[in-house]
Chains A and B, each alone.
Chain A
């Protein structure tokens, strides 16, 4: 199946540092990467948007707090409201939470230390553009690298996330079991990624864009890009 028709925009903010990896991952997986600039008002002709990792605006005040006011975020919000697929990775996840497009928030890791390691995450729902071709319970090996990745939310919000299946990924052991040692940052309920009510906006702390090339490590990110690109093609055709 050729996926060359799918155009995935990646937004570069001042301080983004995974934007090129995200573009490369899209290209590796057969899509077309489109570089987008935080100061522009228009998304242009794209079928999906990725907010990449990094330290947008120095992460001053709170992670993602300033980036959400970027002109491009207005266009991304409109795109999301029309049902367009939006994926926030790491800092992109933090931005989507700050923008109110995703529930919860991300605070300093429980350990207070920056973590950079491979983790295993379990797919908890297939009702998202990046997990539609996975199965529930699939375990993917993907790296994390962050200082503020501890997912938190109120008790009430957690019950809603669980009841409405808004949790997309949980940190697990390689066997797929929830275990405190497998949770790299102390995230509540081992949550590694969530989606919005409609399912088209997803945020995750692990970096699938760093896990697509077998020459440089695990390939747990590949199924997620496969889903995204094929889903996008369906919308296009």
Chain B
């Protein structure tokens, strides 16, 4: 068995207004950054999985992302590059 490290990025679907992103966007000009638009705030879930190989690990992370880490009604997810750590 091998340990793989994953990052799953969860973000609100583009069709939904992101109130957190809007609030951040609204405060940036006050600090002098007037050229920023389209700010959206999501979250990163870091985890490690002990699995026989990368394919199995990724398939499991995929399933976890759909069933728990994101809510497919409102969110999209992306699984970032895997790192083999042990």
Contact = CB atoms under 8 A, between A and B. Distances in A.
Interface of A: 61-62, 65, 97-98, 104-105, 107-112, 150, 152-155, 186
Closest 9 interchain pairs by CB? A105-B73, A105-B74, A108-B19, A112-B19, A112-B23, A152-B16, A110-B19, A105-B71, A62-B71
A183 to B, nearest CB: 14
B19 A65 contact: no
A155 to B, nearest CB: 8
A65 B68 contact: yes
Contact of A97 (B15, B20, B69, B73): B73
Contacts of A109: 19
B59 interface: no
Contacts of A154: 15, 73
A107 B68 contact: no
B73 A65 contact: no
Contacts of B19: 107-112, 150, 186
Interface size class of B (residues with CB under 8 A): 10 to 19
Contacts of A98: 71
B73 A110 contact: no
Nearest to A62: B71
B15 to A, nearest CB: 7
B69 A107 contact: no
A38 B48 CA distance: 29
Which residue of B16, B17, B73 has the most chain A CB atoms within 10 A of its CB atom?
Answer: B73
Contacts of B22: 112
B12 interface: yes
Given A61-B69, A112-B23, A153-B73, 17 more contacts: A97-B73, A98-B71, A104-B73, A105-B71, A105-B74, A107-B16, A107-B19, A107-B74, A110-B17, A110-B19, A111-B19, A112-B19, A112-B22, A150-B19, A152-B16, A152-B74, A154-B73
Contacts of B17: 110, 186
